[in-house]
Amino acid sequence: MAKVTQDQEEEILEKYFEAGRILSQVRGEAKDRIKVGASMLEVAEFVENRAIELGADGSAFPCNLSRNDEAAHATPYAGEETVFGEDVVKLDLGVQVDGYIADSAITVDLTGKYGDLVKASEAALYAAIDTVKDGVNTAELGEVIEDTITSMGFKPIGNLTGHGLDRYIPHAPPSIPNRRIGNGNVLKSGDVIAIEPFATDGTGKVYDGTLTEIFQVVRKKPVRLPAARKLLKELEPYRTLPFAKRWFKTEKLDFALLQLEKAGVVHSYPVLKEIGGGMVSQAEHTVIVTDDGCEITTK
């Protein structure tokens, strides 16, 4: 967190906690809506609209509803009619208050067959949370997460990590590994991080799929084409927060996004899939590091 006065720090922390309180309520209400036969689009829109109804300034990123071998970055497209089947569903949602972010995820097993897989990511999350305190190296978190998941008969997804959170930036340093690494980063009191273990019965690695519905503005740069300029203007309110294609009715949307991506202005987030086709579970909380532990903002 940037250097601020004590009064400013208290105000910022309250915004983090307010975002977390709102997220917690939305997460619980959304979980009850994830059922076989329910519309994925309706659940995503509920999550994004409900946060604003409860006082948030908006979503920190589009609601992710990744199923089965999908690990992350799956969000419905405009007009999508897909319904949940007997799926293993990862609900990953973010809420922002004045740009200060809460990020959390749960796994809902609609098959009734993957309870142990769900427990593995949850157990790893809480084991890592119990390890967090001022002065702890993130490599220790990776070790705890990997050991917990493997002790339950599964594999961590090694090329996915947790992350820091900063104002309007949902993926900031430091990375929080989900496996053993050589060198990590030392956590300090006041750091805001999202810990998110992924467990799988597959290979333990993800790759970029072919579907992409989530994008993010990553740099400012003049663009020549009118369609790209118009879209960039529409994206200004989101600053550096990710957005979904379905949030826009812009003409030539795909063309404009392609041009912005080619120019390095926009980054795309393809759906991430387990390389071995394995089932994936995810659990995530946002925590603020303290001298002797941490506080969960999204509990």
163 is catalytic: yes
pLDDT digits 0-9 by tens, 43-65: 999 999 999 999 999 999 999 99
pLDDT band at 1 (very low <50, low <70, confident <90, very high): very low
| pLDDT classification of 95: cutoffs 50, 70, 90 | very high
pLDDT, tens digit, 9 for 90 and up, residues 276-290: 999 999 999 999 999
Is the domain of 54 the same as that of 94?
Answer: yes
Question: Do 104 and 249 have their domain in common?
Answer: no
Tell me: pLDDT of 5 over 80: no
138 three-class SS:
helix
Q: Choose the catalytic residue: 48, 87, 171, 274.
A: 171
Q: Is the pLDDT of residue 272 over 90?
A: yes
Q: Write down the residue that tokens 């805001």 correspond to.
A: 192
57 carries a ligand binding annotation: no
What is the structure's pLDDT at 28?
98
Element (H, E) at 161: strand 161-166
The domain that holds 232 is classified in CATH as 1.10.10.10
233 and 160 part of one domain: no
Question: Which strand ranges, in their side-by-side order, compose the sheet holding 88-97?
Answer: 58-67, 88-97, 100-109
Would residue 134 show up in a list of annotated catalytic residues for this protein? no
- Look at the chain and count its residues: 299
Token pair, residue 257, equals 């996004």
Q: What is the pLDDT of residues 162-192, one digit of tens each?
A: 999 999 999 999 999 999 999 999 999 999 9
Catalytic status, residue 87: no
Contacts of 65 (CB under 8 A, 6+ apart): 34, 40, 43, 44, 74, 75, 76, 89, 90, 91
**Residue with tokens 């989900």, as numbered in its chain:** 178
The total of other beta-carbon atoms located within 10 Å of residue 253's CB is: 16
**64 & 109 share domain:** yes
Q: Is 92 a catalytic residue?
A: yes
Q: What percent of the chain has pLDDT over 70?
A: 98
Number of domains in the chain: 2
Our answer to whether residue 285 is catalytic in this structure is: no
- Is residue 103 annotated as involved in ligand binding? yes
Read off the pLDDT of residues 105-123 as tens digits, 9 standing for 90 and up.
Answer: 999 999 999 999 999 999 9
Q: Is 1 part of any domain? A: no
Domain interval for residue 239: 213-270
- On whether residue 218 sits in a domain, the answer given is yes
Q: Are residues 170 and 89 in the same domain?
A: yes
Same domain, 123 and 235: no
Mean pLDDT of 76-85: 97
Annotated ligand binding at 267? The verdict is no
